[in-house]
Structure 1
Amino acid sequence: MSGLAGIDAAKQLAAWTAVDEHVLPEHKIIGIGSGSTVPFVVERIVAQGKELNQTRVFLPTGFQSKELIVNAGLTLGDIDQYSDLDVTIDGADEVDKSLNCIKGGGACHLREKVLAEAADTFIIVADYRKNSQTLGTTWKQGVPVEVTPFAYVSLLKNLRKMGSETATLRMGKAKAGPVVTDNGNFVIDAPFRSTRYEKPDEILREIKMLTGVVEVGLFCHMAKAAYFGNEDGSVTIRLADGSVRKKERQDFLA
């Protein structure tokens, strides 16, 4: 293993394990997601060898993953060209016991969901901090909602009526004004009370019905598995059927 420590080591373990188990030689069309764990996904794919990767096409979910693909010397594709993916691997802001996810902290959740839905297998990779029983436990910022700019005021009003009293327009940290997605839209962060997150698919349906909403950062009943790197060097693997397995540190060192 590498000399990484702490959170980065946990992310690397999760990413490497997921790639080893789900990016197989027969997989030729591969979606690459966004977030701080994804560089380790690309790192492990590159390690599978130039000969194998020459026969593959990689689709990005946003600017970050596009840069990772190009800089790694991998073949870049687009969903317009390849609508059926073998596998998509992506990060998440939080994952619950049923593999429902909150995504969109990086404002890429529209493209992330398109690639997740287009894939035969959708896999989540993250560190242990993202592993929760119920959404909203560690991710307090709320549900990211991508919206058309001209509708954001009315959408804020409607989201607050729905129970997200502190819904806010996401503002840029290094720019004046709101965050603008790769698609030219705004993002609203809509927190809900903890009991609402027990049924995230209901929140998803309610928000999607609002006029002006482009996409919602709730990914419900989509992931086949989620890989969480732990502090002790192990990886916890949650599967869609509710089962959980663990790959211990010694398994990596053997």
Structure 2
Amino acid sequence: MAMSTSESAIPLEQQARLVEESKRSAAYQAVKDHLVASYTRIGIGSGSTVVYVVEAIAALGPGVTSNMKFYPTGAQSEELIEAAGLTLQFINKLPAGQLLDVAFDGADEVDDDLNLIKGGGACLWQEKIVATSAKRFVCVADFRKLSPRLGTNWKKGIPIEVLPMAAPRVLDELKQMGSHNPRIRPGLPGKAGAIVTDNGLWIIDAPFMPLHLLKDSSESGIQAGNGDNGVWAVDALADRLIKIPGVAEIGLFYGKNGLQVESGGQKPVAAYFGMADGTVEVKSDIG
């Protein structure tokens, strides 16, 4: 969601402060609504908003958190958990047949149906593993991530984790599918080569036209989103991308949520957005 004319007139320093305050408000509300004292296994995602999720959890005190274990999606969330004095555990240690009680994570963009683009920080595979290992996944973000359709505000493209040897072939196929200028994500400034994920793979960022929702076809009466003229629906594109040889995982979180399936739900049951005016907007499939 872009800032209005009046918001754009706010000094940059004040804008930055408002954004941080909005993230904190959303994080505290999400933790209040979804972290039950009896929970013992909590997933912690990556990104700037998750800093405040961990802050909100730690603020509950050891009387609430001492029996909880926290499962990170990457190095950043691992450091946050340890710095907050919370008990660190890893997803590969989750007992067979068990699920996390809840997982909190951010997003790069969220659409009207709670589909997500994630992977701006290159942790998308770990993030999807943790999210789909939880009974319920809760998204926490700020107002800039709220969008009617994926690809409307997030112009960098859908993050796709690929085998390095397959990257040229994947780029070719993405272009044939209608992606506009897909590219291998470069490494840090001053460092030659591609960014390398925690899994030793590369990231391709693939921009597409804004992705259709199911209701777009029903409202127009025309079946759309199957890739004709580069127009894709979220589910159809996700299904096509993951089938490209050399693709390990994609940054589209879509399909079912934890209320619709017992395990493996990729979409959040709720998304919390800290708004520029300090309020919190909640989009939810609960109830």
Q: Would you call these one fold, judging by a TM-score over 0.5?
A: yes
The C-alpha deviation readout for 1:131-159, integer Å capped at 9, x for no partner, is 11111111000100001111111111111
Q: How does 1:156-175 map to 2 (within 5 A)?
A: 156-174=171-189, 175=191
Deviation at 1:196, TM superposition (A): 5.2
- Pick aligned residue for 1:181 from 197, 208, 228: 197
- Pick aligned residue for 1:50 from 50, 59, 62: 62
SS at match of 1:194: coil
The C-alpha deviation readout for 1:76-126, integer Å capped at 9, x for no partner, is 111111151000000000000100000000000100001111100100000
Deviation at 1:194, TM superposition (A): 2.4
When the two structures are aligned, how many residues end up with a matched partner? 239
Q: Does residue 180 of structure 2 align to residue 135 of structure 1?
A: no
Q: Which has the higher strand share?
A: 1
- Pick aligned residue for 2:32 from 12, 20, 27: 20
Q: How does 1:196-215 map to 2 (within 5 A)?
A: 199-215=233-249
Structure 1 unaligned blocks of 5 or more: 244-254
- Pick aligned residue for 1:218 from 246, 252, 262: 252
Task: Tell me the equivalent position of 1:89.
Answer: 104
CA contact (8 A) 2:115 2:252 kept: yes
Task: Tell me the equivalent position of 1:154.
Answer: 169
SS at match of 1:144: strand
The runs of at least 4 consecutive aligned structure 1 residues that moved more than 6 Å come to none
Deviation at 1:72, TM superposition (A): 1.0
CA distance in 2, matches of 1:165, 1:43: 39
Identify if the C-alpha distance between structure 1 residues 74 and 237 changes in structure 2 by more than 3 Å, giving closer, same or farther.
Answer: same
CA distance in 1, matches of 2:164, 2:211: 30
Task: Tell me the equivalent position of 2:44.
Answer: 32
Deviation at 1:239, TM superposition (A): 0.6
Deviation at 1:27, TM superposition (A): 1.1
Structure 2 unaligned blocks of 5 or more: 1-15, 214-231, 256-266
Note the aligned Cα RMSD (angstroms): 1.5
Paired AA for residue 180 in structure 1? V
SS at match of 1:15: helix
CA contact (8 A) 1:33 1:88 kept: yes
Task: Tell me the equivalent position of 1:69.
Answer: 81
